[in-house]
């Protein structure tokens, strides 16, 4: 039974067909990567799934629930967390507070006005756990805007993970990191997403083949192929359209 299912999803931007008839199934527990050349619609696909854009056609099911056209916050609350390709953090808050925002939301305290936030032991403890898990202990009290880029990328993933979501979607988590940082970060992602369902967009082929159980290739908004990494590497069409040019 798929945790996420896309059926014939279309997305048009004033005449440009960004996605056309995308079918996709994510099986619980798998690490699924989406690859494709620049402008092939990977980020658009993410944005359509998570409710940032409304699809122009087709249906999206998450945990068998039709979430097509839902607002982002409702989808997030179902247990679907994401990170962004371009870092989206709370710049004037510390790393700790950033993660705490996610934990507070996770515990459904968003509208609680009867307690002081820093008095809640539960929130403090859970935030501390995530900070520790993502190895952000040293940067705990650093303002997010002033943290170095690698930390900010880690924070992106930390906020997605803090929700303890049923599906984690990472949009190019290693974007902008150098080779060494990328290697360490991929190792970390592998570790912390153990046993979780992961959907990841990635540019770096090395990362993809190391991380993913299955791969979907997207070209010009169409799904070219889906399969294991060996299947994808051997697929003639994929080689022609994508891998050959690398």
Partner 1 sequence: MTRYRTIQLGWKAVAVLFMLLLPMFLREIDVHFCTEIIIFSLFAISLNLVLRGVGLLSFGHAAFFGIGAYSMALISQHMPGIPLLLLLLIVALAGCLATSVIGFFCVRANPQYFPLLTLAFQMLLYAVALKWRTVTGGDDGMVMMRPDLYLPFLETISLMAINNLYYFTLIIVALAISGCYLLLKTPLGNAFFCIRENPTRASFLGYNVFLTKLTAFTISGFLSGLAGGLYALFQEFVSTATMDVHMSFGVLMMLLIGGVGHFLGPVLGVAFMVFFQNWLSGVTSHWPIFVGIVFIVVVRYLDKGLVGIFDLKPIRFLAGGRET
Residues that bind partner 1 (CB under 8 A): 50, 52, 71-73, 76-77, 81-82, 84, 88-93, 100-102, 104-106, 109-118, 120, 159, 163
**Residue number, 56 or 88, with CB nearest to partner 1:** 88
CB 223, min distance to partner 1, A: 24
- Give min distance, CB of 196 to partner 1, in A: 17
Least CB distance to partner 1 at residue 235 (A): 33
Q: What are the CA-CA distances from residue 40 to residues 15, 119, 173 (Å)?
A: 16, 47, 18
Q: Identify whether the C-beta of residue 51 lies closer than 8 Å to the C-beta of residue 105.
A: no
- Would you give the distance in Å from CA 86 to the centre of its chain? 12
* Nearer residue to partner 1 within complex by CB, 19 or 80: 80
Nearer to partner 1, 76 or 200 (CB): 76
Instruction: Give min distance, CB of 20 to partner 1, in A.
Output: 25
Shortest CB 2 distance to partner 1, Å: 22
Q: Give the CA distances from residue 15 to residues 6, 57, 98, 179, in Å, rounded to whole numbers and listed in that order.
A: 22, 14, 38, 38
Q: Which is nearer to partner 1, 62 or 242 (CB)?
A: 62
If the CB atoms of residues 37 and 79 are measured against partner 1, the closer one turns out to be 79
**Nearest residue (CB) to partner 1, 136 versus 217:** 136
Per-residue DSSP letters for 68-135?
TT--HHHHHHTTEEE--SS----TTSBHHHHHHHHHHHHTT-TT--SS-GGG-HHHHHHHHHHHHHTT
Q: How far apart are alpha carbons 103 and 48 in whole angstroms?
A: 25
Shortest Cβ 98–partner 1 spacing (Å): 9
Instruction: Mention every residue, 6+ apart, whose C-beta is less than 8 A from residue 148.
Output: none
């Amino acid at each position: 039974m798929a945790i996420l299912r896309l059926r014939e999803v279309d997305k048009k931007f004033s005449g440009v067909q960004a996605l056309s008839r995308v079918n996709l199934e994510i099986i619980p527990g798998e690490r699924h990567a989406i690859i494709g050349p620049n402008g092939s619609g990977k980020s658009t696909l993410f944005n359509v799934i998570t409710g940032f854009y409304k699809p122009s056609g087709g249906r999206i099911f998450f945990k068998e629930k039709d979430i097509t056209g839902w607002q982002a916050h409702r989808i997030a609350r179902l247990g679907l967390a994401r990170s962004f390709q371009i870092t989206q953090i709370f710049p004037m808050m510390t790393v700790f507070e950033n993660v705490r925002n996610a934990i507070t939301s996770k515990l459904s305290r968003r509208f609680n006005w009867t307690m002081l936030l820093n008095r809640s032991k539960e929130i403090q403890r859970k935030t501390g756990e995530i900070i520790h898990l993502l190895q952000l202990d040293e940067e705990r009290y650093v303002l997010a805007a002033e943290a170095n880029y690698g930390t900010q990328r880690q924070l992106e993933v930390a906020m997605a993970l803090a929700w303890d979501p049923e599906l984690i979607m990472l949009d190019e988590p290693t974007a902008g990191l150098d080779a060494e940082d990328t290697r360490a970060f991929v190792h970390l992602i592998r570790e912390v997403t153990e046993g979780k369902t992961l959907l990841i967009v990635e540019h770096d082929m090395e990362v993809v083949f190391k991380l993913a159980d299955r791969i979907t290739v997207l070209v010009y908004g169409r799904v070219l192929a889906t399969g294991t990494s060996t299947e994808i590497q051997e697929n003639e069409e994929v080689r022609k359209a994508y891998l050959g040019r690398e």
